[in-house]
Amino acid sequence: MTITKDDVKYVANLARLTLDESSIDMFADQMAKIIDYVDTLNQIDTTGVAPMANAVSLNNAFREDNNTPHLDREKTLANAPDKEDGFFIVPKVIG
Amino acid sequence: MNLYDLSMETAHLLLKKKEISSKELVTAVLDRTESLNETIGAYITLCRDTALQQAQLADKEIAAGNISPVTGIPLAIKDNICTQDIKTTCGSKILENFIPQYNATVMDKLAKAGAVMVGKTNMDEFAMGSSTETSALETTRNPWDLERIPGGSSGGSAAAVSADICLGALGSDTGGSIRQPASHCGVVGLKPTYGRVSRYGLVAFASSLDQIGPITKTVMDSALLLNTISGHDPKDSTSVPRDVPDYALSCTPGIKGMTVGIPKEYFATQGVDGEVLTAINNAIATVERLGGECVDISLPHTDYAVAAYYVIAPAEASSNLARYDGVKYGLRKENAANLMEMYQQTRSTGFGAEVKRRILLGTFSLSAGYYDAYYGKASQVRTLIRNDFLDAFKKCDVILSPVAPTPAFKLGEKINDPLTMYLSDIFTLSANLAGIPGLSIPCGFSKRGLPIGLQLLGNFFEEETLLKVAYNIEQEIDLGSAKPAL
């Protein structure tokens, strides 16, 4: 499979990554090789095989709907790069 | 006798008999660590002060008659396991200064049992790698040959156990990240059944594959650590409500009549080193000498495991790592014009090349138009791989194979060729896809003196069987008291 520079840029944008030109070339080349290898999966007939999402088939893990202690606000904000008055601060969202 | 040489089991006996104190033991390990860590690079963060406080506390508990097999024992913890008030970096620039406000469940369990933490160990960034070289923070060297990789991703933990700068360690295993470094460093590593050990507070890489487990000097020590960290946790919805047996009881002589499956596909794999095969064949002969019966088995979808894994693991990683957005914790690049730019700049600066590669791969295989062809297909193949194991375990109690195709390779040898690096996980990652437990124990050395490990795979929640067979092989294959020359 050919992975073009535009393919890499498109996926990078979805993943909120910006890449310089040399990285785009490198990733396009490496992804093409890895995806070619992954395409060997098409040698297997999987008609009617159920997909496996998890190793243990647990049903929903329910619990009683009780109040339990949680991190307080100060601790929740302890690692925030920017905060004010008990809130996370982010750069301007629109415009 | 050097106290740092001791196994957890022996140290525990001496602590119990009050022949040594935890303070003496921990001090010996800390002093050795301070003289060796610059060479080996096993630890990212050393915790001398808190370790000595924990040792003092342990000595008080022991004096009062409260002692568990890990009380006062100095352990190393992989740096993707959250430790309250102590940096947890995941080997990444994006979490370089992250200080968790809570403990992972395994850390609460260790604390309750009185264990001492020496420090946090180096790892491939977000556990993505097989050599610990993708760490953004430090280079870890193999104690047996400083020009070589320790394996990965739990390379820091395995190197620390091997170099006697802790008595035991915790790692995490998503595709072999406990077993492969244990093999390369000549120590024991155990990946438990998915759901056996709580993942709460383990920084997520691929949530359906990740599992925490012990890396130790002996099989018995792995049993003792597994006893401490196992069990259901309401905070992890994938942890399994199932009683925890006393795994130490499995470490007893006698495997007569047990059947050991030899998977023909693993031995037909190209690129397996001749010395590795010799060591594994010696181990097979050992099993037979002990009265075990070796039978040929087949795992027909073996050739597709790496391909399925490198769809599923990156897909889960790309979702899990979306949380690193520069808002709530971790790195933020300042001076962005708007929120979108801040996300992009933060993530592009904070993640290294391997993490970016996997995020790109995962985003690709989950993107519109490709989901069914890649993620869907790989998830179906995953079912077939699990079924292969279920069929195989109708014919045998455990499966025996190499851990890695070669002994430890040189630093830099594979880092620029991701696909070759991924293929070095060929024998380990099927266990993660299936969810079954796997264990790595030393079984020999190459002519260059590099450790070679063998892998045992068991059916779901059959850790006891793995430990039993491993213990017997360990007792029978006498590797002497070989230690790396440091």
Taking only the tens of pLDDT, chain B with its 486 residues reads 899 999 999 999 999 999 999 999 999 999 999 999 999 999 999 999 999 999 999 999 999 999 999 999 999 999 999 999 999 999 999 999 999 999 999 999 999 999 999 999 999 999 999 999 999 999 999 999 999 999 999 999 999 999 999 999 999 999 999 999 999 999 999 999 999 999 999 999 999 999 999 999 999 999 999 999 999 999 999 999 999 999 999 999 999 999 999 999 999 888 899 999 999 999 999 999 999 999 999 999 999 999 999 999 999 999 999 999 999 999 999 989 999 999 999 999 999 999 999 999 999 999 989 999 999 999 999 999 999 999 999 999 999 999 999 999 999 999 989 888 888 899 999 999 999 999 999 999 999 999 999 999 999 999 999 999 999 999 999 786 789 998
What b/e sequence results for B13-30 when a residue is b if at least 16 CB atoms lie within 10 Å of its CB, and e otherwise? Answer: ebbeeeebbbbbbbbbbb
B50 three-class SS: helix
Chain A residues whose beta carbon lies within 8 Å of the beta carbon of residue B85: none
3-state secondary structure of B262: strand
Of A35, A52, A92, the CB nearest to B382: A52
A13, A84, A90: best to mutate for the B interface, most B CBs within 10 A? A90
Q: Closest by alpha carbon to B123, among B93, B92, B153, B103?
A: B153
> Taking CA atoms, what residue in B is nearest to A92?
B338
pLDDT score at A2: 86
Cβ atoms within 10 Å, residue B164: 22
Among candidates B446, B464, B371, which has minimal Cα distance to B409?
Answer: B446
Q: At what angle do helices B22-40 and B48-63 cross, to 10 degrees?
A: 160
Q: What is the mean pLDDT of residues A67-93?
A: 93
- CB nearest to A46's CB, from B102, B356, B381: B381
Strands (E), B40-164: 43-46, 74-78, 116-121
Residue B451 Cα, gap to closest chain A Cα (Å): 30
Q: What type of residue sits at position B80?
A: N
- Cβ–Cβ gap A15/B348 under 8 Å: no
B199: closest CA of chain A, how far (Å): 14
Are residues B157 and B78 in contact, defined by beta-carbon separation less than 8 angstroms?
yes
Helix (H) or strand (E) holding A33: helix A21-38
Q: C-alpha B65: how far from its chain's center?
A: 33
State whether A15 and B208 contact (CB < 8 Å).
Answer: no
Answer whether A80's CB lies under 8 Å from B327's CB.
yes
Of residues A15, A38, A50, nearest to B311 (C-beta): A38
Q: Is B155 within 8 Å of B181 (Cβ atoms)? A: yes
Give the CA-trace dihedral at B299, B359, B317, B441, to 10 degrees. 50
Using CA atoms, how far residue B148 sits from B151, B272, B344, B413, in Å, is 9, 18, 35, 9
How many whole angstroms separate alpha carbon B77 and alpha carbon B170?
Answer: 5
| Dist. CA B391–CA B439, nearest whole Å | 20
Contact between A15 and B360 using a beta-carbon 8 Å cutoff: yes
Nearest to B442 by CA among B407, B399, B396, B398: B407
Count helices and strands in chain B by DSSP H and E runs: 16, 11
Instruction: Examine the pLDDT at A28 and tell me if it is beyond 70.
Output: yes
Residue B336 has a CB neighbour count (10 Å cut-off) of 18
Q: Is pLDDT of A57 > 80? A: no
The residue of B203, B299, B360, B461 whose CB has the most chain A CBs within 10 angstroms, and thus the best one to mutate to test that interface, is: B360
- The amino acid occupying position A17 is L
Q: How far apart are CA A14 and CA B298, in angstroms?
A: 41
pLDDT of A54 = 84
End-to-end CA distance of chain B: 17
Residues 448-467 of chain B with CB under 8 A from chain A are 460
Please tell me the predicted confidence (pLDDT) of residue B446. Answer: 96
Q: Distance, in angstroms, between A68 CA and closest chain B CA? A: 12
CA distance B425 to B176: 6
For residues B395 and B258, the answer to whether their CB atoms sit within 8 Å is no
Element (H, E) at B34: helix B22-40
Inter-chain touch B337–A91, beta carbons under 8 Å:
yes
Matching residue, tokens 């035991």: B168
Q: Give the closest residue to B80 by CA, choosing from B229, B196, B213.
A: B213
Query: Angle B305-320/B353-366 helices, nearest 10 degrees?
Result: 100
Question: What amino acid positions of B are annotated as catalytic residues?
Answer: 78, 153, 177
Q: Does B308 touch chain A (CB under 8 A)?
A: yes
- Please tell me the distance from the alpha carbon of residue B151 to that of residue B407, in angstroms, as a whole number: 9
Q: What is the largest CA-CA distance in chain B?
A: 71
- Integer Cα distance of B90 and B88 in angstroms: 6
CB atoms within 10 A of CB B344: 20
C-alpha angle A34-B381-B441 in degrees, rounded to nearest 5: 80
Q: Is the peptide bond before B153 cis (omega within 30 degrees of 0)?
A: yes
Identify which of B234, B311, B381 has the shortest CB distance to residue A63. Answer: B234
Enumerate the residues of chain A whose CB falls inside 8 A of the CB of residue B308.
41
Beta bridge partners of B191: B438
CA closest to A33 among chain B residues: B419
H-helix segments, B336-446: 339-350, 353-366, 377-392, 418-423, 429-434
CB nearest to A41's CB, from B322, B357, B381: B381
pLDDT at residue A61, rounded to an integer:
78
Residue pair B125/B355 in contact (Cβ under 8 Å)? The answer is: yes
**Distance of alpha carbon B367 from alpha carbon A7, whole angstroms:** 11
Q: pTM above the 0.95 mark?
A: yes
B438 membership: H or E segment, kind and range: strand B438-445
Distance CA B235, CA B202 (A): 12
Q: A-contacting residues of B 401-420, CB under 8 Å?
A: 418-419
Residue A64: closest C-alpha in chain B: B234
Across the interface, whether the CB atoms of A49 and B234 are under 8 A apart is answered no
Residues B449 and B267: beta-carbon distance below 8 Å? no
Q: Are B95 and B332 in contact (CB under 8 A)?
A: no
Per-residue DSSP letter, B410: B
